[in-house]
Amino acid sequence: MTVHGNQLKTLPYDLASVFGYSGGVAGMDAMKFLHLGRPLALLSFVAFVAVVTVACDGIRLPSELQGPPGLQGDVGAVGPAGEPGATSPQGSRGPQGSAGSGGSAGPAGRQGDTGAKGEQGPQGPEGSGTADDLADQRCPAGEFVTGITGGNLVCLPLPGIPTWYADTDRDGFGDPGISVASVTQPAGFVADATDCDDTNAGINPDALDPPGDAIDQDCDGIDLAAPTWYADTDGDGFGDPASSVASAIQPAEFVADNTDCDDTNGSINPNALDHPGDGIDQDCDGIDQPPTWYADTDGDGFGDPGISVTSATQPAEFVADNTDCDDTNGSINPNALDHPGDGIDQDCDGIDPPVPTWYADTDGDGFGDPAVSVASVTQPAGFVADNTDCNDREFGINPGVPDPPRDRIDRNCDGRDQ
């Protein structure tokens, strides 16, 4: 026990009353009594001192009081116990009285004192934290303390209370680094927390990210690489794979395609027609196809599409054409005249025209009578292909003449008299 200052001043106990002498005969009587009672009084005094010691243990003066303690240090190790005191030798017995005299026996010797208690080990150091550090900290509104880390409060939102995030640039996307828990939505805050730059409204997860500008406009963590463009010198829309540039925007005379095999000639590109056998790869497929030749058995200059050969040079009796529909007859080919109604497709157009109908032209005015006709491959005499004459007996009545009014004759065959 440590007693500070004058907390324990004068013990309220009169030692003379324990051992003492008060004078007079009465004092002498008391001394006789105390001759036997002193050991008991001594023990009472020791007990009183022990009580005072326990009562005073841990007392601190107001000047020693501190603020709230930091974290408690480790308890000091307990000191070793003191060794027991040696036992005093027992007093020797007095000599035996002579017989008959009734002498009293000598008093017994006193027991030795108990050894002193060992000292308590030193107290461990106090914790390093201070009450003032934590006392100045507060969790934001709507949050509660869940622990202490590194001398700082750890706060989490109260269950059921939403968290809102600052939307400084007003793009509808919040800054995950600035938040507040609140039952109602604060002004300038939103529920979203995905904005990667809350100072620029053009940067948010919904923004378009132009590639190659070193800015992550859509907040996906990357900036797209700039596209590669290829030179299109001949302007055919196909680019030269050997001439390219990376750029966020398309340069003039550059295209995204890179499949042109000759960028100096606009007629050579993957969409061009390759002329076989000319030694030029017009369609950029890596080869120049040799031409295909078709048999011309009847010698009319038109080839049979069913008989062909591929060759760099033209074989005998073969032609480049393949439109003959009968290669055994020289009069049947796309240039021949087709005779209607003969059952033969002379001009190879896939049909044989029907036999034509001819109409009688009795009055010889060039207009035929629709009521008199004949079908014939050739035109019969006195017949024409027209069938619009309304009176084939009168030369002056046909669709080609004027109609005098009010003569009650339909001279122009229009069905009425003017």
Q: Are 248 and 210 in contact (CB under 8 A)?
A: yes
Average pLDDT (303-330) is 95
More confident residue, 405 or 2: 405
Residue 366 has pLDDT above 80, yes or no: yes
Average pLDDT (343-351) is 93
Q: What are phi and psi of 46, to 5 degrees?
A: -60, -40
pLDDT tens digit sequence for 323-337: 999 999 999 999 999
Supply the pLDDT for residue 315.
95
Supply the pLDDT for residue 111.
55
Supply the pLDDT for residue 296.
97
Would you tell me how many other CB atoms lie within 10 Å of the CB of residue 402? 9
Supply the pLDDT for residue 85.
47
Per-residue pLDDT band at 212 (split at 50, 70, 90): confident
pLDDT tens digit sequence for 253-268: 999 999 999 999 999 9
Establish how many alpha carbons lie within 13 A of residue 30's alpha carbon, considering only the half-sphere containing its beta carbon.
12
Per-residue pLDDT band at 79 (split at 50, 70, 90): very low
Helices (H), 212-291: none
Share of residues in the chain with pLDDT > 90 (%): 45
Question: What is the Cα gyration radius of the chain?
Answer: 67
Q: Which of the 8 DSSP states describes residue 374?
A: E
302 class by beta-carbon count within 10 Å (0-12 exposed, 13-18 middle, 19+ buried): buried
